[in-house]
Amino acid sequence: MANPRKRVPENAPGDFFVDSTCIDCDTCRQVAPRVFGEATGTSFVKTQPVGPGERRVALRALLACPTGSIGSLGGDDVKAAADDFPLPIEEPVYYCGYNSPKSYGGNSYFVRHPAGNWLIDAPKFTVPLVRRLEALGGVAHIFLTHRDDVADADRYAAHFHARRIIHRDELSSQPGAEVVLDGEGPRGLAPGFLAVPTPGHTKGHCGLLVEDRFLFTGDHLDWDRNEQRLAASEDYCWHSWTEQIESVRRLADYRFEWVLPGHGQRVCMPAAEMRAEVLRLAESMGR
């Protein structure tokens, strides 16, 4: 629970606040961008939510926060907001919420599929989310992009009897994974589901391309809200920036309209524009 005595000074006066335990992971700014802003090293409430709709969105951010750094003194029904997760992005893709501190607040996603539902990276293992996923048909497959964002994947795998999929070079983070990817080439996992190796951030980092429309990018790249363009971070590249540049360049060989990152803002644009943006990013990374 957030502590009102530890409010950061940037908060706008009112019921909602961020306290000093914030790790500046950006989760709340993605979920409720009108309410939450960015200061040096922290999020803060820049505008108090107005009306029940905005308050409900702010409560979603409160629940998604990995460190419990958001509080509300307004007597809102937090349990009702818990039933909102997973949040639909575009069918069949949902955002799980309940980001985990184990992945530094990384996003995870749920994909509904008649042959078995998918989890991409893992959120906190929480009873409200588990019950909602059960109601949506459970989880058959858990695709793990890399070692940083596995969070509670093992608990979800045990609960749902799901198979975890991870590259061999990331296997030490989930040594009991049921499916291990090898090599540098793409691998079909099921009709419409393609694992795309994207080494760079870590050695065995992989993306998941679904239905040639949704690309789950882990920590490979994301959308820069301020610059309005795709971005990648050399500061947070743990393996090889040179390999990451080449991995980004190879993404231009695939068709997709959505970038859904583990960390950072998601974005959708027409496939031709997305390809041009990928090539621009690769060139800028090389400079």
Contact 25, 99 (CB under 8 A): yes
Confidence of residue 174 (pLDDT cuts 50, 70, 90): very high
Q: How far is the C-alpha of 244 from the C-alpha of 220, rounded, in Å?
A: 7
Does the pLDDT at position 194 exceed 90? yes
Q: Which of 187, 184, 149, 142 is nearest to 165 (CA)?
A: 142
Q: What is the CATH number of domain 4-75?
A: 3.30.70.20
Residue 268 pairs in a beta bridge with: 258
| Phi, psi angle pair for 43, to nearest 5° | -90, 165
Does the pLDDT at position 184 exceed 90? no
pLDDT tens, residue by residue, 231-268: 999 999 999 999 999 999 999 999 999 999 999 999 99
Residue 19 pairs in a beta bridge with: 7
Q: 192 vs 51, 188, 210, CA distance in Å?
A: 41, 8, 5
Q: Check residue 232 and give its pLDDT.
A: 98
How do the domains of the chain map onto residue ranges? Answer: 4-75, 84-286
Q: How far is the C-alpha of 188 from the C-alpha of 193, rounded, in Å?
A: 6
Q: What is the CATH number of domain 84-286?
A: 3.60.15.10
Q: Check residue 153 and give its pLDDT.
A: 98
pLDDT tens, residue by residue, 74-87: 988 999 999 999 99
**Directed axis angle between helix 127-135 and helix 153-160, to 10°?**
40
Contact 141, 216 (CB under 8 A): no
Contacts of 114 (CB under 8 A, 6+ apart): none
Mean pLDDT of the 267-275 span: 98
pLDDT tens, residue by residue, 44-73: 999 999 999 999 999 999 999 999 999 999
pLDDT tens, residue by residue, 131-153: 999 999 999 999 999 999 999 99
Q: Is 249 exposed, middle or buried (0-12, 13-18, 19+ CB in 10 A)?
A: middle
